[in-house]
Structure 1
Amino acid sequence: MKTLYKAKVTTKGARDGHSTSDDGVLDINLSTPKDLGGKGDKNTNPEQLFGAAYSASFGQALEEVAKEHGFDLGDFSVTAIVKIGKNEEDELQLAVVLDAYIPTADVESGERLVNEAYELCPYSRATRDNLDVTLNLLLDQD
């Protein structure tokens, strides 16, 4: 792989710790959600950070695919719902739902864009066959 960009982030204290990037841009406290046995402090957690990263990357892939097709996405958005739970072997497992809101699309073109973006997105490729990902096309935000 030819590296185009490298992000270096160090976390001290695990889920109830602090994460910083080597360039100082990322500098955040973490806390374990109550649902996972934490105090529920008002800090972010790894699942939220993964959701932000995945939804941003998938959105970029949607933009690239739409550009290839000459399609205007309008005021689109991608929402990632990241779930953590236990699998049949009682091991922690992630699952993700990606809701792609594309107000300018009909069902056929929207599904084509979402499916092609899934193939292009590096997060989708990195997690393929490792976690369940559900893709949803939203034509309105209700």
Structure 2
Amino acid sequence: MNVLYTAQATVEGEGRKGKGSTNDDRLNVELSVPKGLGGDDGPGTNPEQLFAVGYAACFHGALKKVAREAKASVDGSTIESAVSIGSGDDGFGLSVDLTVTIPGLAQAEVQKLVDAAHQVCPYSKATRGNIEVNLTAKTA
């Protein structure tokens, strides 16, 4: 792989209850444990929320790339991301639901673009075969 960019971050404290920041200090967040995992829903964010934003942003970039190649407009498109954590036979695991809404296109065209974006998105590639990722394509 020809590395084009590397994000660097540090977490300190008690893992899910501490502080996280990037080396350039563009992201500097307090971390807290959600009630569903035994926490108190403190003032901070959690890894699942950060992953949800990251995956949605990356997928949106992939969608725009495949749309440009297909000469399709995805103006006004949105990606809603839900990252769930749960326990199974082999310990904790994640699942992701992505809802992609593209106004002004037929349902078949939206589905085609979503499927293509899922093939090129780096987050989709990283999760493929590892966690369940559900895609929903919608028109507006």
TM-score, L = length of structure 2: 0.96
How many angstroms apart in 1 are the aligned matches of 2:75 and 2:10?
Answer: 37
Deviation above 3 Å: which 4+ runs of structure 1? none
Per the alignment, in what secondary structure is the counterpart of residue 6 of structure 2? coil
Residue aligning to 2:127 = 127
Equivalent residue, structure 2, for 1:65:
66
Contact 2:30–2:43 (Cα < 8 Å) also in 1: no
Residue number in structure 2 paired with 1:12: 12
Distance, in Å, in 2 between the alignment partners of 1:73 and 1:20 is 32
Cα RMSD, aligned residues only: 0.8
SS in 1 for 2:16: helix
Matched, 1:48 2:21: no
Percent of aligned positions with the same letter in both sequences? 38
Q: Is the 8 A contact 2:32 2:45 kept in 1?
A: yes
Measure the CA separation in 2 of the matches of 1:84 and 1:105: 33
Corresponding position of 2:92? 92
Q: Distance in 1 between matches of 2:93 and 2:122?
A: 20
User: Could you say which residue in structure 2 is the equivalent of 1:29?
Assistant: 30
Structure 1 gap ranges (5+): none
Deviation of the 1:87 alpha carbon: 1.8
Question: If the length of structure 1 is used for normalisation, what is the TM-score?
Answer: 0.95
Tell me the alpha carbon deviations over residues 118-140 of structure 1, each in whole angstroms, 9 at most, x when there is no partner: 00000000010000000001213
| Cα deviations by residue, 1:22-48 (Å, 9 ceiling, x for unpaired) | 111111100000111001112110000
Aligned to 2:110: 110
Q: Which runs of 5+ in 2 are unaligned?
A: none
Question: Whole-Å Cα distance in 1 between the matches of residues 89 and 132 of structure 2?
Answer: 14
How many aligned positions are there?
139
